Every structure is written in C-alpha cells, then in structure tokens.
Amino acid sequence: MRHDPDFPWLSCGDFFRFPDPEAAEGSVVAAGGNLSPGMVLSAYVQGIFPWFNEDDPLLWHSPDPRFVLFPEFLHIPSRLRRAMKKPRFRITADRAFEEVLASCAEIPRPGQQGTWITADMRESCLILRKEGFMHSVEAWDGSRLAGGFYGMQIGPVFFGESMFSREPDSSKTAFAVFAGRFFGSMGGTLIDSQVYTDHMARFGARNISRQAYIRLLHRCFSGCDIQYRKTGVPSSLFCRKTDWSAFFP
C-alpha cells in the first residue's frame, strides 16, 4: 500500500487532524500520508475522503457542494417500486464484501476510463472491513451475485463508496431495501454520496454546501460521542460498530 515512509501508521484508535476543509479553495484538502485505518476514519469524520487515480499522489478531497440523502426523504422511483413487489433479488449484507469490492472496481462504466478503486484503495477497504467499518449489500439472483454496493458506516452516518450491476435494477433494489427498510433501524440519519450522480438523485439525494455538510456531520457525531462534541476528537465513536447481519435476514 502506498504511503509516506515518514508518516506513522494509524490504528483505529488514533486520530489525525486534517487541514480545515472549509478553508480549501477547491476540492483537494491535503496530499500524502497513508491509507491506514486511523487516517481514513479521521478523514471521514472531518468530511474528507481519499480519491485519486493509480498514477496520482494520495489526494484527500472535500467537494463543495456535497451530495447527501436524508433517509426521511428517500424516494423510490415508481417503476422500481412496482418491480420490488414481485421480488426477483434476494438482498443480503456483508456476505460477499470482497466480490462486491472487486466488481465495483472491475466492471466498466460508460464514459469512465479506468477506476479510482486502486489496489491501494482495495487493500485499505479490506482492512476497514475486518475492523467492522466497511460493509456491503448484495443482490442475488439465485446463487449469482447480480449487483450491490459498499461503503463505510461511522456512528449514524453511512458513506457510500461505489455500486455495480450485472442485471437491471439489482443495485437499485439493494439500495432501496437498505435505505428504506434497514438503515433507520441501525440508527442511521445520513447517507453521504459524496458527489452528484443521476442514480442517487432519483432516490432523493441533493446537494448541500460543504459548510452545511461539515456542520451536519458534527451534529450527527456529537449525539453519540461526548468527547467529539466538546473537542472534535472522537473517543467512543470509532468503537461503535454495527453488525449488519443482525438487521438483514
């Protein structure tokens, strides 16, 4: 995994203070460091995420605006709603994380060359999966993985990373089931989609300013971590992991 040899490897209990994203002129907040668990978790709770191509330096972004979905405003398109009344796909969670991750990286997307899910990113995701933060939701057609998505949950916030489909409506069904039936039961209050996509816009996601997003994150995390509320440095937040298998049949 790429890293700055002079930068320490941070465990889940470590915290790194990034530059203030609200002071950034563009999307890029910082460069360098590494993709250790503590570094990545620290970034996400500050409204920052790693995003770079294979030949780029390690870049940390906080785009303005930010694309988010509030579960109470979830909209399931009528055609998808009709299709879900005759269930074609079996939806599970955390049953095939590595396959979902690999599929998101490997399946081509129209108008996109290559993938931002580099070998380094995949290695980081697998570490965070073992630590209990990364999750996947799968759509199965019989025994075949037809689609799905993955992302990270920290406290009440789910940070969506990527999705794929091998069959029409597979990933859409997986997301609709997750957001509509289970996320609220997990204590979830916000789904972060990072940047605009037509796909998530159809579900009701919308742009908010970076400033509003950072403040929203602070409110979300302050409710479950007293130290974070006082200092902005998490204490129990990185210990609050949700077992998704308890919510999915």
Tens digits of per-residue pLDDT, 121-159?
999 999 999 999 999 999 999 999 999 999 999 999 999
Q: What's the pLDDT at 2?
A: 60
Cis amide linkage into residue 19, ω under 30° from 0: no
In this predicted structure, the answer to whether residue 110 has a pLDDT above a threshold of 90 is no
Binned at pLDDT 50, 70 and 90, residue 165 comes out as very high
Question: What is the CA angle 152-155-158, rounded to 5?
Answer: 35
In this predicted structure, the answer to whether residue 175 has a pLDDT above a threshold of 80 is yes
Amino acid code (one letter) for 61: H
33-37, 90-94, 184-188, 203-207: range with lowest mean pLDDT: 184-188
Class of domain 68-206: alpha beta
Residues of the chain with pLDDT > 70, as a percent, come to: 96
Residues in the chain: 249
Binned at pLDDT 50, 70 and 90, residue 4 comes out as confident
| Section 171-193 average pLDDT | 95
Paired tokens of 170:
């597979």
Residue 137 three-state SS: strand
In this predicted structure, the answer to whether residue 1 has a pLDDT above a threshold of 70 is no
Q: What's the pLDDT at 116?
A: 78
> Whole-model pTM above 0.85?
yes
Paired tokens of 106:
């490997």
The rounded mean pLDDT for the chain is 92
Q: What's the pLDDT at 81?
A: 95
